[in-house]
Amino acid sequence: MKIQVINPNTTATMTEKIGVAARQVAAPTTEILACNPAMGPVSIEGHYDEALSVIGVLDEIRRGEAAGIDGYVIACFGDPGLGAARELARGPVIGIAEAAMHVASLVAPRFSVVTTLGRTKGIAQHLVTSYGMTAHCASIRAAEVAVLALEESGSAAYDQILQECRLALAEDEAEAIVLGCGGMADLAAELAASLGVPVIEGVTAGVKLVEAVVALGLGTSKVRDYAYPIAKPCLGLLDKFALPSQG
Ligand code: 2AL
């Protein structure tokens, strides 16, 4: 099966890292196509960045549908454009925040999210609520690490994230950690070894969930909420995103 893993930001080094993590867990018969939009912010650290990233994400889904992709992972912790992506896709589309939270809820009574900047905690809180994870979420903590610091070797990012994870376990009674950024895809194993609890990272969780859903023969329901978008003109800068009607 073909799974397209979309990094919604435009930083190619992060996309490569996300692709490596995805391939490490993918089944031998799964082909991972890691990509990022050609347009949009280099990192996503708030609502504005998120909104700007969504058109690029949808463009990648549109291309993926034309290329016969079986399922998608949206690899940014705000799950930007998830509902709209589901309208476009036949197969499953899973965001890394929803993948990581759901998997964490299966292996621990309560998890803490450890994310990048404090300003993104509200976005994560909103997702905890909308995914029905309130009872499972002990806390949302920020390491105050900029997303692109995760791309710099020798930065203090890892140590700051490790410290915040330790505080979550000690002070918030979390029993697992959910990593709150696609750029943390390479950190889960080392953190788990240091912390002695499950550390769930959404790119890998998302790939395994998409594989499972596709293997079950399931796709996105098209009866109402995720029905294909209604064909209509789109004006101005977005004119090329107008969609044809679906026979
Ligand atoms: C993210 C993420 O996963 N990728 C990105 O650019 N920003 N989310 C976050 N909370 O920092």
Q: How far is the CA of 75 from the centre of ligand 1 (A)?
A: 8
Ligand 1 pocket residue status of 91, Cβ below 6 Å: no
Q: How far is the CA of 22 from the centre of ligand 1 (A)?
A: 17
User: For residue 155, what pLDDT is reported?
Assistant: 86
Ligand 1 pocket residue status of 10, Cβ below 6 Å: no
What percent of the chain lies above the pLDDT cut of 90?
A: 96
Q: How far is the CA of 226 from the centre of ligand 1 (A)?
A: 25
Fold of 97-201: Rossmann fold (3.40.50)
Q: Whose CA is nearest to atom 7 of ligand 1?
A: 44
pLDDT band at 185 (very low <50, low <70, confident <90, very high): very high
Fold of 2-96+205-241: Rossmann fold (3.40.50)
Task: Name the residue ranges covered by the structural domains of the chain.
Answer: 2-96+205-241, 97-201
User: For residue 210, what pLDDT is reported?
Assistant: 99
User: For residue 154, what pLDDT is reported?
Assistant: 83
Q: How far is the CA of 63 from the centre of ligand 1 (A)?
A: 23
Q: How far is the CA of 244 from the centre of ligand 1 (A)?
A: 32
Ligand 1 pocket residue status of 76, Cβ below 6 Å: yes
Q: Specify the ligand 1 atom closest to the Cα of 11.
A: 6
Query: Which helix (DSSP H) or strand (DSSP E) does residue 192 occupy?
Result: helix 188-195
Q: How far is the CA of 123 from the centre of ligand 1 (A)?
A: 10
CA distance 99 to 167: 23
Ligand 1 binding pocket mutation candidate from 181, 184, 204 (most atoms within 8 A of CB): 181
On the question of a common fold for 2-96+205-241 and 97-201, the answer reads yes
Q: How far is the CA of 147 from the centre of ligand 1 (A)?
A: 6
Ligand 1 pocket residue status of 45, Cβ below 6 Å: yes
Ligand 1 pocket residue status of 114, Cβ below 6 Å: no
User: Which of 124-131's residues contact partners 24+ apart within 8 Å by CB, and which partners?
Assistant: 124/77, 124/78, 124/97, 124/180, 127/78, 127/79, 127/97, 127/98, 127/101, 128/101, 131/97, 131/98, 131/101, 131/102
Q: Is the pLDDT of residue 145 over 70?
A: yes
Ligand 1 pocket residue status of 44, Cβ below 6 Å: yes
Backbone angles phi, psi at 83, to 5 degrees: -65, -45
Q: Is the pLDDT of residue 247 over 70?
A: no
Q: Is the pLDDT of residue 172 over 70?
A: yes
- Exposure string of 112-137, with b = 16+ CB inside 10 Å and e = fewer, is bbbbbbeebbebbeebbeebebeebb
Q: Is the pLDDT of residue 45 over 90?
A: yes
